[in-house]
Amino acid sequence: MRSPVQEYLESIVDQCRSTDGEVASYIPELADADPDRFALALATVDGHVYTVGDADARYSIQSISKPFTYALALSDQGTEAVDAKVDVEPSGDAFNEISLASDTGRPRNAMINAGAITAASLVAGDSGEPRFERVLEWYGSFAGRDLEVDEDVYSSELATAHRNRAIAHMLREFQILEGDPEESLAQYVRQCAISVDTRDLALMAATLANGGVQPVTGTRVLETTSVERVLSVMATCGMYDSAGDWISAVGMPAKSGVSGGIIAVLPGQVGLAVFSPRLDSHGNSARGVELCERMSRDMEMHLMHVGRSSNTAVRNRYPLSQVASRRRRPDADQAVLDEHAGRSVVYELHGDLLFAGAEHVVRAVVEDAPELAVVDVRRVDDVADVARVALRGLRSMLREAGSEAAVVDPHGVLHDPDAGTEHASPFFEDRDSAVRWCEDELLRRHGDGPADERAHVDDHPLLRGLSPDARRVIDDAMEHLTFTDDELVLEAGAPFAGVHVVVSGTAVATVEGPNGDRTHAVAMNPGTSFGELALGADDVQETSIHADGDLTLLRLSAESIDRITADQPQVAVEMWRAMARDGYRMADRALRSGVERG
């Protein structure tokens, strides 16, 4: 099955391809970049990565390195020591502005070049070389693989780093840098030349989204308190002099680089990376900015969107065979369900269904490729519009594969725009009704269809094994009874009244709850029976039986059973043997069902 999330990401990349912009020209190696490269990667906090376009193309990380080196400085030195050297205030200036705070001499923040050079100098190590080796390893722990330096980009950038060289010497003049400024400059330029692809960046962003735990390796890379500090600075300073526009329009902590990359972080849900070398007037990827704005709007990814994270929206999932409906079916129908129910799946969802939660649901269904699905949203509190769109896409995907989904939604949290039409999904008030629908659908697909109004009386275990003579006796003794909707057939606590075989309609067994309310226990269709279990319960009926709609029964009464036992012992032996077989059959089915669910 093809994921609707993948289809959406591909469509939005295509829609943003026409955006203009110019490649960075002040670094010779970047000036030669292919302006038509375009890639998108989205990584979830459980490690799944969607990619579109040139996601494997390598390029230098450039300024996207800044939050990660800042994180390493925080990890090495602690917040107080780093704050003494680098502030956390938005500068409102371009990324390469030559300016420091007039009162403290500190760079405004670690996302501009002055702050990034300072952060590089705060990485633990005796000199620039060991500090850089720690940086390279640190970045690799976020990406989940070993990274390398593009030496051509490093040489090209260092040879033209006149403005950054001036910044480094100014930092040394104000004693923000305490060592050789040229060493700190070279370390910073070298970190900017580390080679990554868009998938790497998405996983690096997802590590921040996941509270500092790398989603694929499961390794804690950064402590939660440092993640909070890094994301806060990214939110207010990561997009330079367009940071205000960005946080208003996109609403995610982000960082851009002049090679054309952008990362964005939606805490608790996803890490996003875009690559396109065409830059806007602020030095940010023009296509990347447009794409992120569109995704934030379409997928409700704005950080200020009210709603709780639900990245583990699938509370439970299990095959239909483990949750058979409370309906006793003829053996032939049950055999069909035993063979095919394992190919259908129940998905229990919970929490607030935002993008990450909807993506998790879609991915689970794509992985399972079920013949039929039951989507149970009884524990879902709220559903974002993007989640509704994703679930409708999931429905289309299932239908294209010849499948269908039933929805358990008693509170109406999902709104089907096709309600009332032939395109609507089947909606149910409770899970048992949805499971019953799936079972009926499986019987239509793989058997003769559900019992419905067909009387499988001849196939009932009480009758099918009888000799012709015994069958004639039993048939003559059976009474034909009819009941209307909700009419009482048997009352709990009443004495054994006989064996009742459903001819048409449905009989429902109920028990009384603590508040006196009726609780649905089991539904019985044509060809099934009830009443005989009282023989094993001191001849007392344990549940009440009501008609669900018009109901027709054949009853072999207690009096008739006693009479046949006394007057026709050979027939009685066959009759009791048949009832014993049926009792063992039902006990075995219940036992197997309990083992499967356990």
**Which carries the bigger pLDDT value, residue 344 or residue 304?**
344
CB 350 within 8 A of CB 313: yes
- Could you read off the pLDDT of 542-567 as tens digits, one per residue? 888 999 889 999 999 999 999 999 99
CATH classification of 314-446 is 3.90.180.10, yes or no? Answer: no
| 18-48 CB burial, b ≥16 within 10 A, e <16 | ebebebbeebebbeebeeebbbbbbbbbeeb
Range 494-517 average pLDDT: 81
230/392: higher pLDDT: 230
Catalytic residue among 213, 221, 258, 435: 258
To the query of whether residue 188 is one of the catalytic residues in this protein, the response is yes
Instruction: Single out the residue of 205, 225, 199 nearest to residue 80, CA to CA.
Output: 225
* Residue 63 a catalytic site member: yes
Nearest to 270 by CA among 232, 300, 234, 244: 300
Output the CA torsion 4→6→12→18 (10° steps): -140
Sequence spans of domains, the chain: 4-24+36-299, 314-446, 457-597
Q: What are phi and psi of 482, to 5 degrees?
A: -130, 145
Q: Specify the amino acid at residue 380.
A: V
Structure tokens, 338: 């035993």
DSSP string, 50-86: EEEESTT--EE-GGGGHHHHHHHHHHHH-HHHHHTT-
pLDDT at 447: 85
Which residues make beta-bridge pairs with 540?
495
pLDDT at 100: 76
Q: Which of the listed CATH numbers 3.30.70.580, 2.60.120.10, 3.40.640.10, 2.70.50.60 matches domain 457-597? A: 2.60.120.10
From residue 289, alpha-carbon distances to 20, 198, 256, 296 in Å are 11, 15, 9, 11
Whether 285 and 274 have beta carbons less than 8 Å apart is answered as: yes
pLDDT for res 593: 45
Q: Which residues contact 412 (CB under 8 A, 6 or more apart)?
A: none
pLDDT at 452 over 50: no
Q: Active site includes 366?
A: no
**Residue 360 contacts residue 46 (beta carbons within 8 Å):** yes
Q: What is the pLDDT of residue 274?
A: 97
Taking the model in full, what pTM does it have?
0.70
At residue 95 the predicted structure's pLDDT band, cuts being 50, 70 and 90, is low
**Token pair recorded at residue 80:** 């107080």
- How does strand 261-266 pair with strand 498-512? unpaired
pLDDT band of residue 456 (cuts 50, 70, 90) is low
Question: pLDDT of 111-161, one tens digit each?
Answer: 999 999 999 999 999 998 999 999 999 999 999 999 999 999 999 999 999
pLDDT at 422: 81
Q: Residues 52, 66, 85, 289: which is the catalytic one?
A: 66
> What is the per-residue pLDDT for 303?
76
Residue 199 has pLDDT above 70, yes or no: yes
What per-residue confidence (pLDDT) applies to 320?
92
Is a pLDDT exceeding 90 seen at residue 595? no
Q: Please, what is the average pLDDT of the chain?
A: 87
Q: What integer is the mean pLDDT of 67-88?
A: 96
Average pLDDT, integer, range 405-419: 86
Confidence at residue 327, expressed as pLDDT on a 0 to 100 scale: 63
Q: Grade residue 455 by pLDDT with cuts at 50, 70 and 90.
A: very low
Q: pLDDT, tens digit, for every residue of 382-410?
A: 888 888 888 888 999 999 999 999 999 88
221 is catalytic: no
Considering the candidates 49, 50, 52, 63, report the single residue annotated as catalytic. Answer: 63
User: Which residue is catalytic, options 70, 139, 188, 347?
Assistant: 188
Tokens of 152: 């051509």
Largest CA distance in the chain: 116
pLDDT at 310 over 50: no
User: Whose CA is closest to 96, among 82, 112, 73, 109?
Assistant: 112
Report helix angle 385-400 to 4-15, nearest 10.
Answer: 110
195: confidence class by pLDDT, cuts 50, 70, 90: very high
3-state secondary structure 188-249: HHHHHCEEECHHHHHHHHHHHHCCCECCCCCCECCCHHHHHHHHHHHHHHCCHHHHHHHHHH
Which position among 240, 325, 407, 502 bears the catalytic label?
A: 240
CA distance 383 to 380: 7
Catalytic (active site) residue 66: yes
Per DSSP bridges, beta strands 327-328 and 518-524 are parallel
- Residue 308 reports pLDDT greater than 60: no
pLDDT band for position 381 (cuts 50, 70, 90):
confident
pLDDT band at residue 589 using 50, 70 and 90 as cut-offs: low
d(CA 208, CA 195): 20
The CATH label, of 3.90.79.10, 3.40.710.10, 3.20.20.70, 3.30.70.20, for the domain at 4-24+36-299 is 3.40.710.10
Per-residue pLDDT of 24-72, as tens digits, reads 766 777 777 888 899 999 999 999 999 999 999 999 999 999 999 999 9
